[in-house]
Amino acid sequence: MVSYRKRGESWQYEISYKDLDGKYKKLRKSGFHFKSDAELAASQIKSTYIDVRSFRDGNISLAAYFEKWIKLYKEKSVSAVTLVKYYNTLSHIQNLFGNITLHDLNRIFYQEKINEFAQTHAPRTVATFHKQIRAAVLDALDEKIILSDPTRKVVITGRKVAHPQQALNYNDWRTLVNSLDTSNKQQMIIYLAAVTGLRFAEVVGLTLKSIDFDQSTITVSQTWDYKYHTGFKPTKNKSSIRTIPIDSRTTQRLKAFTSCLQDASKPIFAAESPAPVSAEINKTLTGILKLLGLPRITFHGLRHTHASVLLYQGVSVLSVSKRLGHANITTTQSTYLHVIKELEQLDNDKIISVLNNL
């Protein structure tokens, strides 16, 4: 129902409608010089939008709409890790876009904010940020809450990021391992990853039960949820459940590090305090590598380093695959194809040398 009235020198329209909760509400707008202008504006709203509720929804902020969109479409359909990424996007929207409404959001303003975000983020991060916002905006467009797509033809840029090296060479690996203070929790985690190839969640999921000091072995049968602190979790796959041999020095260092622990069922790196998160470990690792004058690698790069060192030292691909807990040898071969090709060339040189000595 629409009604009109004159307020002073201008006209106002008033649209009565039933909201989603069944209650009657009113939508008013004034400032029209003539009654015919108010009638035209009211008719445009009724014809353009599916209903008046959609028009009202367009007056909420982009951040508020995005939050409602997450709860409606994502909370029950994506993994916990992915959901965190959506809420990270929401946080950035709140900081960048403030209280701007869906109606007021236009292409120029949107591009300005994407450019602002790109000043401190890599292109890939900017692209993901834009992709998530655009998905919500397109739903708003489908529902006729907005009439045009302000995210259309956006230009993605970003800050250039110096990517860390994937792995250390043998000599750099030895320098790192021999420089670590294994009485320190974070450095002990780095040490174990470097000499075992274990994933971060596998290292922080180790307990006293995982270590056989007599046989010098470590058994990986679970991981630790360092992100959400929900406790132990299953391994990445069945092949990740494995027992690997360790050297005598590592056995002794583990024995010294765990000597004061009593509860064999608790993770050794979170027995008395929370386990460090991967970001903390990466920061520590970067600092140590810089101090030693070594190339920068990530914590996961320690796993690549371990595998590469073993392959270069003549350990078979099958043995390396089992030690890393890969689902199959194909994964190992594809991941370390560059190493395998180099070794193949060395083997070819050896073959020619043998044939030349016939």
- Do 177 and 296 lie in one domain? The reply is yes
Answer whether residue 253 is part of any domain: yes
**pLDDT value at residue 157:** 94
- Do 274 and 181 lie in one domain? The reply is yes
Number of domains in the chain: 3
Q: Lowest-pLDDT range, 78-82, 91-95, 208-212? A: 78-82
Answer whether residue 132 is part of any domain: yes
- Tens of pLDDT, residue by residue over 73-84, are 999 888 777 888
b/e map 189-225, b = 16+ CB within 10 Å: bbbbbbbbbbbbbbbbbbbbebbeeeebebbbbbbbe
Mean pLDDT, the chain, as a whole number? 88
CATH number, domain containing residue 219: 1.10.443.10
**pLDDT value at residue 99:** 93
**Cα–chain-centroid distance for residue 103?**
31
Instruction: Tell me the C-alpha distance between 80 and 78, whole Å.
Output: 7
Query: Tokens 């956006």 appear where?
Result: 154
**pLDDT value at residue 48:** 53
- Do 237 and 181 lie in one domain? The reply is yes
3-state SS, residue 154: coil
Residue 251 vs residues 212, 290, 322: alpha-carbon distances, Å = 9, 28, 20
Q: Lowest-pLDDT range, 9-18, 30-39, 111-120, 260-269? A: 9-18
Phi, psi dihedrals of residue 327, rounded to the nearest 5°: -65, -35
Answer whether residue 66 is part of any domain: yes
Q: How confident is the model at residue 290 (pLDDT cuts 50, 70, 90)?
A: very high
- Do 187 and 290 lie in one domain? The reply is yes
Q: Lowest-pLDDT range, 16-25, 249-258, 325-334? A: 16-25
Residue 185 vs residues 162, 207, 222: alpha-carbon distances, Å = 28, 14, 20
Q: Give pTM, 2 decimals.
A: 0.60
Assigned token pair, 278? 């991967």
| DSSP for residue 236 | S
Mean pLDDT throughout 228-236? 85
Answer whether residue 177 is part of any domain: yes
- Do 22 and 123 lie in one domain? The reply is no
Give the dihedral sign, CA 104/108/110/116. negative
- Do 129 and 203 lie in one domain? The reply is no
Percent of the chain with pLDDT strictly greater than 90: 56
Q: How confident is the model at residue 342 (pLDDT cuts 50, 70, 90)?
A: confident
Domain of 43, in residue numbers: 2-52
Q: Let me know if 91 is exposed, middle or buried by CB neighbors in 10 A (0-12, 13-18, 19+).
A: exposed
Q: Point out the domain boundary residue: 95, 121, 142.
A: 142
| Of 238, 210, 245, nearest in space to 224 by CA | 210
Res. 54: pLDDT tops 70: no
Q: How confident is the model at residue 214 (pLDDT cuts 50, 70, 90)?
A: very high
- Do 80 and 111 lie in one domain? The reply is yes
**pLDDT value at residue 311:** 93
- Do 192 and 288 lie in one domain? The reply is yes
Answer whether residue 343 is part of any domain: no
Answer whether residue 131 is part of any domain: yes
CATH number, domain containing residue 132: 1.10.150.130
**pLDDT value at residue 131:** 96
Instruction: Tell me the C-alpha distance between 66 and 218, whole Å.
Output: 46
Instruction: Tell me the C-alpha distance between 324 and 269, whole Å.
Output: 21
**pLDDT value at residue 354:** 78
Reported in sequence order, the residue ranges of the chain that DSSP labels E, i.e. its strands, are 2-7, 10-18, 24-32, 211-212, 217-220, 223-225, 231-233, 242-245
Answer whether residue 338 is part of any domain: no
- Do 80 and 43 lie in one domain? The reply is no
| Of 305, 333, 301, 299, nearest in space to 318 by CA | 333
List the end-to-end C-alpha distance of the chain, in Å, as a whole number.
102
Answer whether residue 275 is part of any domain: yes
- Tens of pLDDT, residue by residue over 100-129, are 999 899 999 999 999 999 999 989 999 999
- Do 101 and 77 lie in one domain? The reply is yes
